Every structure is written in C-alpha cells, then in structure tokens.
Structure 1
C-alpha cells in the first residue's frame, strides 16, 4: 500500500474539539462517506442516503469527522474512507461514539469495528504504515 499525502499535526480550517482517544492521531487529506439510510436490497443507494464528511484526524481504531448533520450516538453505519490520493476506498463499519456541535457543523467521533466483509485489515495496515512513516 502507498500512504502518501499525509499531513502531521493539526490541520487549519477544521473545527476544534476534544475527544477521548488514547492513540496517536494522523491528520490526513481524507474524505468519508457514511450510509445514513440502508438501501433496499438490490437497489442503488440514493444520494440522499449518503453523507459526505471531511476527515479531521485518524487513529488506528477510529476517526474524527466533520459532518453537516448530527449523528445518533451508538448508531452503526457503513462507511467508505478515501485517504489522500490512494485509488482504493476503505469500506468499514463504524459506531458513532460522540457528536458535538461546532458552529454550523458537527464533530463526530467514530470507532472502526472489526467486521466481516469490510476492509478492516487493510485499514489497520494502512494506518500502521502511515504511523511508522511518522
């Protein structure tokens, strides 16, 4: 895997907030898409069911996102994460751990769950590789 385009430290222009993660965090140019509505089996996901978020920072077990909408605590959501200019998106299952208002947006902390039929192992490898490069 190639882990380029990571920035370390705090990223300017993102809302500030406090979270409880103990892991080292990476600030990366990344985007997340969350399925806030489950599609009917066999049907295409409507655009209204997807919420695009900016990734604030990344740790091995979670992400901090900037969302235009509040998300319900403990909701389980399918997510796709795009890291920098990597062509592959990581498909992950996440749990909303906290959600805080930050001006017009919301900062959301999600925990990445080890789940079958997701890219969990590839995700862990990509984050570990990026951390070792720091």
Structure 2
C-alpha cells in the first residue's frame, strides 16, 4: 500500500446540518457494489439480483459516502462489497442507507453506515481501515 496516498477527509459535505461524522475519513479510492434486490433463494433459473456499482473516495471504519446514478431508500439495510485497491478480496458488509440527496442533474450522494453483522467481514474491514490510517 506504499504507493497509494491515503489522507484524512476534512471537507464538510454532509447533509444540511453540517458535519455529523463521528470519526476521521480516509480519502482513498474504493469500488462499492450494493445489492439492491436479492435473487430468489434456491431458484437457479431466474436471477432477480440487481446491484449498483459505484466508486467512493470517502470512507471510514463505520461509513461510506457514494455518488450514485439513482437514489437509495433511507433506512434500507443492504448487503455491500467494498474493494480496496491494496486488498485482493472485497469485504462483504451490511450497510444502512442513512441519507440520500440529489448531487447534481445526473446523480445522488448517499451516506451508508456500516453495520456490525454476523457472516460479514466487519472485523476485517475495521482492521484494514485502521491499518490504512496508521500508515504514513
């Protein structure tokens, strides 16, 4: 990870009430895939899965801000996979949509809270973010 520039996010871009962040954010590129609709269990004939793929440059151990092409429902709890450039396997996480607002004429800004959940890579995610924050 030595050639990747991680720095702390220090800009105020949270919804209307100011910066509500509880911890420092990294400004690092990551691919985020959010599962919007799950496939029917045990049905191998039709795949009803629908995902949204986005990139973020603002993340922490407990949250991610995305720019998306469509709005997400506030309060929705969704599976997500986050791929950091320096880690080979994506982190499977559960996220809650905390806020969603128009960003411009073509997109939305979405705030996701990462939830601690069984059968996810939550602990590995927290450790990876802590390592990135501790490196110079």
Q: With the length of structure 1 as denominator, give the TM-score of the two structures.
A: 0.84
Runs of 4+ in 1 over 4 A off after TM superposition: 43-48
Partner of 1:51 in structure 2? 52
1:131 aligns with 2:133: yes
Q: Corresponding residue for 1:40? A: 40
Unaligned 5+ residue runs, structure 1?
11-15
- SS of the residue corresponding to residue 86 of structure 1 reads coil
Q: Give 2:4's aligned residue.
A: 5
User: For the residues of structure 2 that align with 1:5 and 1:81, how far apart are their CA atoms?
Assistant: 17
Larger Rg: 2
Shift of 1:60: 1.5
TM-score (norm 2): 0.83
- Kept in 2, the 8 Å contact 1:67–1:107? The answer is yes
Instruction: Note the C-alpha offset of 1:20.
Output: 1.7
Give 1:8 deviation, angstroms: 1.9
Unaligned stretches of 5+ residues in structure 2: none
Taking the aligned partners of 1:52 and 1:109, their CA distance within structure 2 comes to 15
- What's the secondary structure of 1:99's corresponding residue? strand
Deviations 1:30-81 (A, max 9, x none): 1100000011113469586010011131111111111111000010000000
Distance 2:30 2:42 in 1: 29
Are the aligned partners of 2:100 and 2:110 in contact in 1 as well (CA < 8 Å)?
yes
* Partner residue, 2:61: 60
Assess, with a 3 A threshold, how the Cα gap between structure 1 residues 7 and 109 changes in structure 2: closer, same or farther: same
* Cα separation, partners in 2 of 1:131 and 1:47, compared to 1, 3 Å: farther
Q: Is 1:17 matched up with 2:48?
A: no
**How well do the aligned residues superpose, as a CA RMSD in angstroms?**
2.3
CA distance in 2, matches of 1:105, 1:56: 16
* C-alpha distance in 2 between matches for 1:6 and 1:46: 39
CA distance in 2, matches of 1:41, 1:3: 42
